[in-house]
Structure 1
């Protein structure tokens, strides 16, 4: 089996604390995992970043590289943005690319890289009128949105529930390998 490269890109939401186990599960499924974090997620995981880099075998990305700097990751075969906060989703859909993570996924739409996003928003955030518009913008752009039955369903503010990581990994597992679309 040929190893494919998964870019696992995470926002600062509570499921990000489970990311080491998610990386290990993706690796068991045959993925070479590259981990990218929003600045806030990187802050939350600061003490564990060296261990996550060792686990993936790649540096954890949190910011843009300098112009002319080397690419430190292999090319992506698929991208999973999860957990994705309201902030990340709205900035991505609106093209506000002030962070590396959002800039990468905005550009990846134009490059045709298969992508999925699974939100992690509570029911109060889910009521904001921009969120459904942003999710529809991403769907229209070809991003697989895992929101609602079979994906992430909003919880009440403060409610803790298991995050459906398996559904997210199953989705990217189903993306056709390059050249087989």
Structure 2
């Protein structure tokens, strides 16, 4: 099996606490995983960052590098952005790259790399009119968005603890799109 490089990008939503298992699953599927986090997600996982870097073999990134510094990650063959919060989805769709992972996702989208996004947001935010506009913008740009019947559906009963976040669905979609590339 040929190893391909995955840029796994995550926002601060409760499923990010399972990211070590997701990395291990992706690695068993033949991916060399580089983990990028929003600043808040990095804060949430601050006690685990060294372990996650050891698990991936790459530094965990959440900040832009300085101009002239070499990139510490190999180029992505594919990008998976999950969980992608309301703020992340809207920023990405609008091209507002004020944090590293949104910038990486925007670049990969523009470069026509295989990009998958699985939003994770509350029901209230998912029904905000801008959210659907942003999801459609990303779809039009070539991003495979996994939501509703094809991915994550917000749980109005417990929006802060989505125990049903379908990580396997995201990794299966990643395999499919990477084989088509």
Helix, strand or coil at the partner of 1:97: coil
CA RMSD of aligned residues (A): 1.1
Could you tell me how far apart the structure 1 residues matched to 2:107 and 2:171 are?
Answer: 22
Unaligned runs of 5+ in 1: none
> Runs in 1 of length 4+ with deviation above 2 angstroms?
157-161
Helix, strand or coil at the partner of 1:113: coil
Unaligned runs of 5+ in 2: none
In the TM superposition, residue 162 of structure 1 has moved relative to its aligned partner by: 1.7
Mapped contact 2:120–2:152 kept (Cα < 8 A) = yes
Could you tell me how far apart the structure 2 residues matched to 1:157 and 1:6 are?
Answer: 33
Corresponding residue for 1:124?
124
Task: Identify, as 1 or 2, the structure richer in helix.
Answer: 2
Pairing 1:136–2:136 present: yes
Mapped contact 1:122–1:157 kept (Cα < 8 A) = no
TM-score w.r.t. structure 2 length? 0.96
Could you tell me how far apart the structure 1 residues matched to 2:96 and 2:117 are?
Answer: 17
Pairing 1:104–2:104 present: yes
Which deviates further from its counterpart, 160-169 or 81-90? 160-169
TM-score w.r.t. structure 1 length? 0.96
Q: How does 1:34-113 map to 2 (within 5 A)?
A: 34-113=34-113
In the TM superposition, residue 46 of structure 1 has moved relative to its aligned partner by: 0.3
